[in-house]
Every structure is written in C-alpha cells, then in structure tokens.
Amino acid sequence: MSVGEIQVAIKSDQDIVSARQKGRLMASEMGFSSGDATLIATAISELARNIVSYAHKGQITLKMVNGTNRQGISVIATDNGPGIPDIRQALRDGFSTSGSLGLGLPGVRRLMDEFEITSQPGRGTTVAVKKWRQ
C-alpha cells in the first residue's frame, strides 16, 4: 500500500459510512470544494451500495493520483461477487429501478470524470473512477 492510499473493507451499511467519511476527508484535504467532496461521497456510496447488495462483501480503495497538471482522487471498488454478465446493459439508464432515475452505475459515471469497469461473471467486478480537482 503506497502513501496516500486507504482501503476500506465493505460488508455492511456502517462500512459504507466509513468509506464515505474517508473519501470525504481525503477530498477536502486535497482541496476539493465541499460540493465536489459531497459528489465524491455520493459516488462512493453508490459503489459501496452495489457491493453490499450484489456481492455482499468487497473493498473500496481511495487514492490520491497525479495527472500532468492536476491532482485527483481515485476510487476503486472491487468485489469477488457474481459479476455483471452484460456491462453495457448495466451502464444504461433504466436497466434497474435506481438506474431509471439516473442513479447507480450510470449516475456514478456522470458524477466522476473518469470511469472504468471490468467484470467477469462468477469472478467479480472492479469499478475504478477518478475525479480531478477543478
């Protein structure tokens, strides 16, 4: 684990709160506005929620990242759950109840600047997102 990297095990709703708190703290220490910190906490919530609902356990890794001229925060959610058979469908609005309101994975994608997802059925899912400081 490198400096500035935090891992939070996700098993329950309390863990979601803990991941939110650490993400928010890291974001505000990095100089993100409180509005952006709120959006980052929201993205963390959605990702952690997915872990609890579908994989039951997993982890969230928070990291400071450096771009060419900017700094950002990276949030990686990993689990060894059932995986997503059709990623494109999962990213489409309206796929799930929450998705029809733009929540869930499609919502996370819109809150963050970068979004990457890999998933293998039966092996698990990794969602990696980044937000750059404005």
Partner 1 sequence: MKIAIRRKAKPRAGIEDEYRTSLREYVAGGGEPALGRAYELGRRALTEQKSLVEMASLHHQAVLSLVCGTESEKRREKLLRSSGEFFAECLSPYEMAHRGFQDAVKALRQLNETLEEEIKRIAYAVHDEAGQLLVAVHLALAEVTPELPEPQQVQVARIKELLNQVEKHLRRYSHELRPTILDDLGWIPAIRFLAEGISKRAALPIHIDASVSERLPGAIETTLYRIVQEALTNAVKHAKAGNVWIRAWRENLLLCCSIRDDGGGFDSCQAQARAGRKGLGLIAMQERVTSIGGTLRIESRPGQGTELSIRLPLEGDHANSHRTRG
- Catalog residues that contact partner 1 under the rule CB under 8 A: 13-14, 16-18, 20-21, 24, 34-35, 38-39, 41-42, 45-46, 93-94, 97-98, 100-103, 106-108, 110-111
**Cβ proximity to partner 1, 67 vs 102, nearer residue:** 102
- Residue 125 CA, chain-centre distance (Å), reads 12
Task: Note whether 51 and 58 are within 8 A (CB).
Answer: yes
Write the single-letter amino acid at 5.
Answer: E
Alpha-carbon distance of 13 to 35, in angstroms, equals 23
Q: Nearest approach, Cβ of 104 to partner 1 (angstroms)?
A: 9
Quickly count: other Cβ atoms within 10 Å of residue 65's Cβ.
15
Q: Nearest approach, Cβ of 54 to partner 1 (angstroms)?
A: 17
Task: Note whether 117 and 99 are within 8 A (CB).
Answer: no
Q: Nearest approach, Cβ of 105 to partner 1 (angstroms)?
A: 11
**Cβ proximity to partner 1, 46 vs 79, nearer residue:** 46
**Cβ proximity to partner 1, 31 vs 94, nearer residue:** 94
